[in-house]
Amino acid sequence: MIHTLDRKSSQGSDVMIQEIKKVAVIGAGTMGASIAAAVASANIACVLKDVDEKTVFGGLTKIDRIFESKVKKGLSVEEAQLKRALITASCDPKSLKDVDLVIEAVPEVLEIKRAVLTELDRELPEQAIIATNTSSLSITQLASFTKRPNKVIGLHFFNPAHLMKLVEVIPALQTDEQTIETCLAFAESLGKLSVRVEECASFLVNRLLGRYMNEALWCLQEGVATAEQIDQAAVDYVVPIGPLALRDMNGADIGLAVAQFNFQEYGERFRPAPIIEAMVERKILGQKTQAGFYLYDPETRKKTGINPQIQELVAELNKNPNKPAKEKSTQDFSAERLFLPMINEAFLALQESICKVEDLDKALMAGLGMRKGPLALAEDMGLAQCLEKLEANFKTHGERFRPAPLLKRYVWAGKAKIN
């Protein structure tokens, strides 16, 4: 259904948006179940669909646990039951015949997504919007697999979707303004911070996160700080969990795949630190193998100490008979060094008009739990001082710290604030 809503587009004009009364989520894994719970929590009917009953009912079990957790946190049993009842399960494509929006959350494999999108295009009503929760694949390419590319968009939820406050709304090159504004409004209706992000590899938050995560690995590999020192410095500075502890949670294999993708797309400044490649080769993957940068209890996944294999890897990677030994100093390490690449990438993203200036810090804070976003950190540091620090690190470490032209222009203009 289409109706007029009192909503202004980014150009300031009134727009007609679609009313979203019923949603389908394709893929009943952890992410799909979490998205379905977020939709139902906003009192919107939702179909959870997958290829077989076992998978679908596994997703429903996850949803039941989510609502049980909400009850423990204060939601009434009656309200939880009403919201849970809005979710129905299906393996039948015909169950999609009356949905207004479908969100696919299937594995990040292009051919799988192509097959799913082709089927959705065939089964969905003509006016239905197709959204993808991909975190890496091109929205424009995915849209091209359908006969309705103007109604295909990225809705990138952060895990767990029922708790995390950010949704990146990423248009394809072909997406029309009505679809964009409908999806921005839909994400807002779920109680999320809804941010329009223009298409680029890893989108906004994960693109900036990758620069900071990779710098933590370079610091560890250089031997200028231990894993504990790196994580504690980051936590004391601005984040709720350190980069290496976070990498252990997500898995070194996943981290390497993302890092290699970003390196392929963006070039030298995203070159992965060799230590993560060495960890994946040795199956030191993090919590899933009970050993990453830290050791973990196999039952509780709680941290039990530092992994001694990491120090061995650092020593091995720094052993080069043809290269004179360089004395390492803790003066080479600071929390600022970890975040300078993220700050610089933020300026590059603004330079590319990936998002609005006013949305960037809010997105990083909502998506990563940062107490301040990278632009605020740059302002606190002083833009001229930030540029000086980047230039100094550029001389020492190379392309990872090449200053963004936009930051230089702010400094040359004598600006203290980013707007």
In 3D space, the residue among 37, 7, 33, 3 whose CA is nearest the CA of residue 20 turns out to be 3
Residues 79-85: contacts with CB under 8 Å, at least 24 apart = 83/40, 83/41, 83/43, 84/40
Query: Dmax over Cα atoms in the chain, in whole Å?
Result: 71
Q: What is the pLDDT of residue 10?
A: 56
In 3D space, the residue among 159, 7, 139, 25 whose CA is nearest the CA of residue 88 turns out to be 25
How does 75-111 read in b/e, with b if 16+ C-beta sit within 10 Å?
Answer: beeeebeebbebbbbbeeeebbeebbbbbbbbeeeee
Q: Which two tokens stand for residue 179?
A: 């679809």
Query: How many angstroms separate the CA atoms of 67 and 83, rounded?
Result: 9
**Residue 202: which region, alpha, beta or left (left: phi > 0; alpha: psi -120 to 50)?**
left
Residue 54 has phi, psi (to 5 degrees) of -60, -45
Can you spell out the DSSP letters for 121-152? HHHS-TT-EEEE--SSS-HHHHHTTSS-GGGE
Q: Which two tokens stand for residue 157?
A: 């939820």
Is residue 313 within 8 Å of 275, Cβ to Cβ? yes
For the chain, the distance separating the N- and C-terminal CA atoms, rounded to the nearest angstrom, is 38
Helix orientation angle between 405-412 and 383-397, rounded to the nearest 10 degrees: 140
Residues marked as catalytic: 156
Is residue 273 within 8 Å of 221, Cβ to Cβ? yes
Q: What is the pLDDT of residue 332?
A: 75
| Tens of each residue's pLDDT in the chain, 419 residues | 444 455 556 556 678 999 999 999 999 999 999 999 999 999 999 999 999 999 999 999 999 999 999 999 999 999 999 999 999 999 999 999 999 999 999 999 999 999 999 999 999 999 999 999 999 899 999 999 999 999 999 999 999 999 999 999 999 999 999 999 999 999 999 999 999 999 999 999 999 999 999 999 999 999 999 999 999 999 999 999 999 999 999 999 999 999 999 999 999 999 999 999 999 999 999 999 999 999 999 999 899 999 999 999 999 998 865 554 454 545 579 999 999 999 999 999 999 999 999 999 999 999 999 999 999 999 999 999 999 999 999 999 999 999 999 999 999 999 999 98
Q: What is the pLDDT of residue 211?
A: 98
How does 3-20 read in b/e, with b if 16+ C-beta sit within 10 Å?
Answer: eeeeeeeeeeeebebbeb
Q: Residue 370: CB partners within 8 Å, gap ≥ 6?
A: 238, 239, 364
In 3D space, the residue among 353, 352, 370 whose CA is nearest the CA of residue 361 turns out to be 370
Query: How many angstroms separate the CA atoms of 390 and 408, rounded?
Result: 11
Give residue 111's identity as a one-letter amino acid code. E
The Cβ-side half-sphere exposure at 368, using a 13 Å CA radius, reads 29
Query: How many angstroms separate the CA atoms of 310 and 273, rounded?
Result: 14
Q: Would you call the peptide bond into 160 cis, given omega within 30 degrees of 0 as the criterion?
A: yes
Rounded to two decimals, the pTM is: 0.93
Is residue 254 within 8 Å of 262, Cβ to Cβ? no
Domains and CATH numbers, the chain: 2-196 (3.40.50.720), 205-412 (1.10.1040.50)
Can you spell out the DSSP letters for 49-80? E-SSHHHHHHHHHHHHHHHHHHHHTT--HHHH
In 3D space, the residue among 11, 31, 32 whose CA is nearest the CA of residue 23 turns out to be 32
Give residue 155's identity as a one-letter amino acid code. L
Q: Which two tokens stand for residue 277?
A: 């490649």
Q: Residue 222: CB partners within 8 Å, gap ≥ 6?
A: 318, 328, 332
Give residue 360's identity as a one-letter amino acid code. L
In 3D space, the residue among 340, 272, 344, 282 whose CA is nearest the CA of residue 307 turns out to be 282
